[in-house]
Amino acid sequence: MRVVLQRVSRARVVVDGQVTGEIGPGLVVLLGVEQTDTDTDADYLVNKVAGLRIFEDVEGRMNVSVQETGGGVLVISQFTLYGDTRKGRRPSFDKAARPEPAKRLYEYFVEKMRQAGLTVATGIFQATMSVELVNEGPVTLICDSVRNSPSS
């Protein structure tokens, strides 16, 4: 499982002209699910995202998590995070999970983030979405689940 995190001052997602999710200060989480991902991958990334210290403390150092700030989290499904562009000019999405298991893990991730005490907004799974955000810093990070990390 892979996420791209962006620290934002505000963000929203629009589907068919309607805002489906909106946050103030917090994180935008673009979430990609790979075919072999399980609940364990999602659990790892929930803990990582919720606890990652990428917000500034009173001294201006990145030392505070989204949980500690009380910020919001906007989670957007993003199968293109598993696009392989190494061959040819058209990306291959063979590693991305099929829609049914991907949706289950996406919803599981969102629910676990809520259980962690975070205010979570979402897009709509498999919809064409317009994501608007103001990246603060800018701070953008990529996190993979434990199984996919270089140290595993």
Catalytic residues: 78-80
Residues in CB range of 61: below 8 A, 6 or more apart = none
In whole angstroms, give the CA distance from residue 103 to residue 113: 15
Amino acid identity of residue 23, one-letter, is: I
In whole angstroms, give the CA distance from residue 116 to residue 99: 25
In whole angstroms, give the CA distance from residue 26 to residue 67: 9
Residues in CB range of 128: below 8 A, 6 or more apart = 15
Give the N- to C-terminal CA distance of the chain in Å, as an integer: 14
